[in-house]
Structure 1
Amino acid sequence: MKVNNRKKIFGDAVDLLMGDMEELKVPRGVEMLNISEIQPFHDHPFHLYEGERLDDMVSSVKTHGILNPVIVLKITEGYEMLSGHNRMQAAQLAGLKQIPAIVKKDLSEEEAYVYVIETNLMQRSFSDLAISEKAAVLKARYEKGSCQGKRNDILNEISKLEGKSVKVTSGQADQKLTTRDIIGKEYELSGSSVGRLLKYNDLIKPFKDMLDASVL
């Protein structure tokens, strides 16, 4: 009986996310959006999944649908992806036309970057990122980081959405530390390492690709 119940719940979830809306309703705060209306974040710094990892995700989407909604920003024409680039790519390859999404409005550039950066860091640790990705994360934190209080609010929100714990900071830093030292402390790097990665971020893409491939 329990197995049958699980199968029914599973089937209901798939029907919902695949667009069967006759009997089921989209969870509150979630909208079904046409994938064609969503564009990638304008300065997305992370590599999309490839190979076996992408194939596994596509297979999962075909079987279960998209179980966690993406997060998008409403723009003048359509939407811009904040969190869920890989899910959207897998959904497209799986043949889905719509995807469940949480829509954000009127975010500042800094707030949008918090969603982009921190949701990716919830999926992978900073140490697992490619060099160019680490450089982009630090650049965003160095130049585009919103006030700490607002950042912590966003971190708490996305941690609940992802079902994961997140470390928030007080925003009170040692006045003797430079901005690079403060950011480095957050990611367990020295100030000089942060400075070096910030310079890497200014390289043109072919050189960044070479760094990621450990050619340089």
Structure 2
Amino acid sequence: MPELDSPAAVRDERTRSGNRSVGENRTANESRNAGENRTAGESEDDRDSGGERGSERESTSPTRAAGMTDTDLPEEARELPILDSALENAADRNDVPLRELTDALVVLDADLRGRHSTYETNYEYVTVDGVRAYLADAEAWAALVADFDLDSTVEDAVRAAHTESAQLLRDRAVENPQFAEETVGIVVGVDTAEEIG
């Protein structure tokens, strides 16, 4: 199994490769204030037709949970597509230090950025403010984390943070959202080029 890169190394690699952080994507995309929702296999024309599957909804940007400030979370958390409230809840519920959970999420996020096409083809998703939430399953999650040497408790916390974020983003983007109990969320930042393409 490959070793986990340090979050600092991942950030440095993102900077060298020219990728913008999710925080920058959020800022760039907040001006639209629209959530996009689409199911696997749906085309641009389906969304433009104004049908139920392609309706655009106003959204607010993912922000700090009530009572939290920027200083409560590790700095790297601001670069993640994970909602802050989901990050804090996952750490608390799984008894994982916030720093350790953030570090694991940063490393996983770097790997996830190249997997959009795989998830777009197979799973429903919503895009809100530069963050895409895929409604995946346990099989997709197992394949994702198989290459990482995560402690089972940390893995549970990472999964919980992704799933709660996906649920909250879907709630914001879709009227009467349905989120099956067996659904596993996979949340990934969307670069501008990926949104246009």
Q: TM-score, normalised by structure 2?
A: 0.26
Higher RCO, 1 vs 2 (CA within 8 Å, ≥6 residues apart): 2
Q: TM-score, normalised by structure 1?
A: 0.25
